[in-house]
Chain A
Amino acid sequence: MTTEKINSLKYRSLLSEGSRFLEERCDQINKLNVFPVPDGDTGDNMLMTLQSGLAETGADENLPLLCDSLSRGMLYGARGNSGVILSRFFYGMNSCISKCGDSFTADNFIAGLENGVSEAYAAVSSPKEGTILTVMRETTDAVKKESPADFETLFETAHTAAAQALKNTPEQLEVLKNAGVVDSGGAGFLCILEGMRSALDGKNISPVSAAKATVKELRGDEEMLGYCTEFLLQKMGGEPFSTDSFRKFLDSVGNSVVVFETGNIVKAHVHTFRPEEVLKEAHRFGEFLTLKIENMTVMHSKSTVENEFELLEKKNKYGLVAVACGDGIGKMLKSAGYTTVDGGRSMNPSSQDILRGIKQANAETVFVFPNHKNAFLAAKQAGEMCDFCKVLVVASQDIGHCYCAASAFDDSLPSEELVSRFEAAAKAVKTVNIAGAIRDCTENGVTVRKGDAVCFDKDRILLAENTAQDAAVKLFEHLDTPDVVIILTGEETSEGDASALESRLEELYPDTEFIMTDGGQPIYSYTLIIR
């Protein structure tokens, strides 16, 4: 039997399965990184984007409602470039199939794919081939050519075409070829298609409730206050435990309920005014492994007070928002006048995170510094979604540029001139990262062995040495003597190594001012901001 129509319930289950497949392959996708350092996270970003979409949906929504919820959730939760592209793709597709009544046909779906592809291309200012965009486009072209009437054939064709397109990506993009990897976003897209195909037989319906809680928390739109109560419980063979009856109990004392069990472990989450009853009930079945109770009423009234102040407070003319990663870097940017948005381990905040930062900056015009190519589209999307102030996204590619741009700030200048000044400030600064290599490679004439300290800027590998300190010293042999170098030490860099490096550099370059400060950034042993 073939599937000729898909209704809202089925569509949701297809996507849930797509999400599950993606989750299973997430680590593999993260590793498809063009630089041989462990900062890839395309898999995580695409997964979080898709989960944010699913979390917005309800099981009983009709097709138009489901499409709307999916699109909204994905657009808000989009992280990283691939996440943003994916969110736009589904937005395009959903706006097409939402017009089909209760269910959609293969033809409708193909039209949706086409619309999705044009939306996805439109999301990127200069689309490159050999990326997720190519995989999406070639997949769509193949199914359009075939024009099957049933979804089994459609997904079969789509899967074959996507796999072939992905395989070709290194031929289209030199960086992929040099790194010996296929495009990570394309790989994520293929996983989603695989999952959707496998769900067609109707056997696989993935639970989405866990993701739902996560995203609800993220959006902060809880219906009720009280105590956010969350725990992991190890069942100890006491009274027999049933997920269903425990969920019913939690529903009776609160809301935002999530319960699921894996083996002997139960994870539960509830918002309740009576956390003591929850603990007492749960304790009947086993022992707590972790336990967290937060008073949301206090947290909420604090934010209400802050909001009232915000209303009373006059908006500033200008605000600066920066995506940052690492406690030290965050502090440094704050003292330079920025409102910071946590980019996570690899600089991938969601559009919603950035929007929150824009709100916090409380200004008539807010300049957003994405500070990483990963965050640029999410920043742009946040700017488009913002309806309470003017948002200008500065094409800042790294922390150094952003930090030094603040010195070009002058609130007496018009906003457009400031953007030019910020972008000009980038020319006076170079940011270089040093991290440990996770595989052998040769790029830009530099031979890197696994375990080497690799020194690279936003475009290319500059050199590799045995230690991060040696790499930093070597770097300066290639540069004109700078005026100032800010050396941000990573979360795992030892104080001894850092101060030995500082002494070496000061001795070698007495005319340069070296400022060593704790950046707390992950992955990079050192980030050097060179002026």
Chain B
Amino acid sequence: MLTLFTDTDTDITPAQAQKYGYRLISMPYSHGGKTVFPYEDFETFDAHGFYQMLRSGVLPTTSAISYEKYIEYFEPEFAAGNDIFYVHFSRAMTATFDAMDLAVKALKEKYPDRRFYEVDTKGITIISLNIVLEIGDWFASGKTPEEVLSLAETEVDRFAVYFFADDLKFFARSGRVSGIAGTMGSILGIRPIIYMDTNGKMVSVGKETGRNNAMKRLLAYVDELGDDLYSHRVIVGHADAPRIAGQIVDALRNKYGEKLEILLADVNPTAGSHCGPDTVGICFHAIHR
């Protein structure tokens, strides 16, 4: 048997995870001395409540989960004779996978016959979600783990994500975006446009004045780079900005019609702690990232 795993940094909800047979690894965030494990410490993510808290000035931190935690997730599967296929968020953005590597190494020594497969989505939130769901589809259509790995080899880099944030202070604090170093600070109404490169890192590619121009630019990327759009999902993700996300969905509908499969997703709280409220992005199948 094969057990699929993914993590909460991919924006997947428990309902979606259940549909595709994924088990969820919860990536925590902390504030006010309390650590919260998404979908373990709560059942439904209250995105509005969470981002309102950030708007009020709370700045949560995030932390890597431990070696022991990975053992807790994986060992029961190996012990039951199942192999593991883990589709996870970008290795380039965290140190948590070092702990996972050690845990997997130890478990493989104990269960030498078991296999551990992994796909690095080289992204986080909606780009990871798109790949996680795509891979879910592949398994559902009967592909083997080896076939999926081989497909992922090329397909992971064919999912592009472009997004803009409302307030650069969150990114500046996390230090996880390159290309914004030459600027001095954050300016209201000026939106840096950020994408995820093929190394799984966030890179700023310019800025737009005003939300409308920023939205137009995201849509222009779909136009310019979009590839085989109708055979894949387009995911619009937002950090408690349903109105803007809705406008983007409407614009996509107007241009590409009803046949385009569009999903809306809430940016998960752990990633949201780094991008801040009102961040909005689009992920789509592209000729390249």
Question: Which chain A residues have a beta carbon within 8 Å of chain B's beta carbons?
Answer: 320, 332, 334-338, 403-404, 406-407, 409-412, 428, 482-484, 486, 511-513, 515, 517, 531
A-contact bits for B211-226, CB 8 A (1 contact / 0 none): 1110000000000000
CB-CB under 8 A from B207, the residues of chain A are 407
Q: Report which of A336, A411, A483, A512 forms a contact with B185, defined as CB distance below 8 A.
A: A336
CB under 8 Å from chain A, chain B span 180-207 = 182-190, 207
CB-CB under 8 A from A406, the residues of chain B are 183-185, 187
* 9 cross-chain CB contacts under 8 A: A334-B185, A338-B184, A338-B185, A407-B187, A410-B183, A412-B182, A482-B210, A486-B188, A512-B210
Interface residues of B, dominant DSSP: loop
Do A515 and B189 touch across chains, with their CB atoms under 8 A apart? yes
| B169 interface contact, C-beta 8 A | yes
Q: How far is the CA of A451 from the CA of B15 in the complex (A)?
A: 60
CB-CB under 8 A from B212, the residues of chain A are 483, 511-513
Taking A335-B185, A511-B212, A531-B210 as given, write out 19 further A-B residue pairs in contact, using a Cβ cutoff of 8 Å, ordered by the A residue number. A334-B185, A335-B186, A403-B187, A403-B188, A404-B187, A406-B183, A407-B190, A409-B184, A411-B182, A482-B210, A483-B189, A483-B210, A483-B212, A484-B209, A484-B210, A484-B211, A486-B189, A512-B212, A531-B209
Do B184 and A483 touch across chains, with their CB atoms under 8 A apart? no
Question: Which chain B residues have a beta carbon within 8 Å of chain A's beta carbons?
Answer: 169, 182-190, 207, 209-213
CB-CB under 8 A from A512, the residues of chain B are 210, 212
The 10 closest A-B pairs by CB, nearest first: A337-B184, A483-B210, A484-B189, A337-B185, A484-B210, A513-B211, A336-B185, A407-B190, A513-B210, A336-B187
With A483-B213, A484-B210, A513-B211 given, is the CB distance from A320 to B187 under 8 Å?
Answer: no
CB-CB under 8 A from B190, the residues of chain A are 407
CB-CB under 8 A from A482, the residues of chain B are 210
A418: shortest Cβ distance to chain B, in Å?
Answer: 11
Nearest opposing residue in chain A for B244, CB measure: A513
Nearest opposing residue in chain A for B167, CB measure: A335
Do B186 and A336 touch across chains, with their CB atoms under 8 A apart? yes
Q: Report which of A334, A337, A511, A515 forms a contact with B188, defined as CB distance below 8 A.
A: A515
Nearest opposing residue in chain A for B213, CB measure: A483
A417: shortest Cβ distance to chain B, in Å?
Answer: 14
CB-CB under 8 A from A335, the residues of chain B are 169, 185-186
B56: shortest Cβ distance to chain A, in Å?
Answer: 14
B93: shortest Cβ distance to chain A, in Å?
Answer: 25
A529: shortest Cβ distance to chain B, in Å?
Answer: 8
Nearest opposing residue in chain B for A320, CB measure: B184
Nearest opposing residue in chain B for A429, CB measure: B209
A324: shortest Cβ distance to chain B, in Å?
Answer: 14
CB-CB under 8 A from B186, the residues of chain A are 335-336
Q: How far is the CA of A334 from the CA of B184 in the complex (A)?
A: 10
CB-CB under 8 A from B211, the residues of chain A are 484, 513
